[in-house]
Chains A and B, each alone.
Chain A
Amino acid sequence: DGGITQSPKYLFRKEGQNVTLSCEQNLNHDAMYWYRQDPGQGLRLIYYSQIVNDFQKGDIAEGYSVSREKKESFPLTVTSAQKNPTAFYLCASSKTLTGELFFGEGSRLTVL
């Protein structure tokens, strides 16, 4: 079945360590997105990519990095520069500019 796969679902890391969250889609969508979800704050856009080898910062990009070397993959690295990385991270994709987003099941990162 087509969809978006995020891994790992749960991740624990120590402060100061970089962490990479995987996001893979087999929907043949051009656009991909990373959102961060915190209780009471909704979803905030970290990075998005409209096409391979191109991506733009969202509203809270500081402390994060991404790459888009393949259409199917959009990994997110949470660096040690991110001051409060503990959160639920959601990856999404869309086929068109006006189309709905399809979401993965999320990755919950806890920094100890």
Chain B
Amino acid sequence: AQSVAQPEDQVNVAEGNPLTVKCTYSVSGNPYLFWYVQYPNRGLQFLLKYITGDNLVKGSYGFEAEFNKSQTSFHLKKPSALVSDSALYFCAVRDGGATNKLIFGTGTLLAVQP
């Protein structure tokens, strides 16, 4: 069965510092991986996705993610955090070979201090 794990409930970082939000996954086939962001009482907004190709994926608002097949990870990164990046971040995976369902992690709250 496919699954995704976000091991940190919360990540704290100072403004201007690099940030990393971790995600690991488990699928039986080739993974389709996604990152979304959610602001309070709002829907989710798409940040970036990995389907195939380059392991480093660039997305919206300066975010990027690195696909690592051997470690089954897809960590979200940004070189310099902004206070406005503070939000809830979700990693999601779809098993490309088995199902059309998109499974979400439990979310990581990113808090950027000024």
Contacts and interface: CB of A to CB of B under 8 A. Distances in A.
Contacts of A25: none
Interface stretch (A14-22, A43-51, A70-78): A43-51
Nearest to B94: A98
A106 B96 CA distance: 27
B34 A42 contact: no
Contacts of B46: 100-102
B43 interface: yes
A4 B43 CA distance: 10
Interface stretch (B12-20, B63-71, B98-106): B98-106
Contact of A108 (B41, B96, B101): B41
A41 B106 contact: yes
Contacts of A103: 36, 43-45
A2 interface: no
A104 interface: yes
Interface string A1-30: 000101000000000000000000000000
Given A42-B105, A105-B42, A108-B41, A97 B90 contact: no
B43 A98 contact: no
A63 interface: no
B49 interface: yes
Contacts of B51: 98
Given A102-B46, A105-B42, 11 more contacts: A40-B9, A42-B104, A43-B44, A43-B104, A44-B104, A58-B101, A88-B41, A97-B94, A98-B51, A100-B49, A106-B42
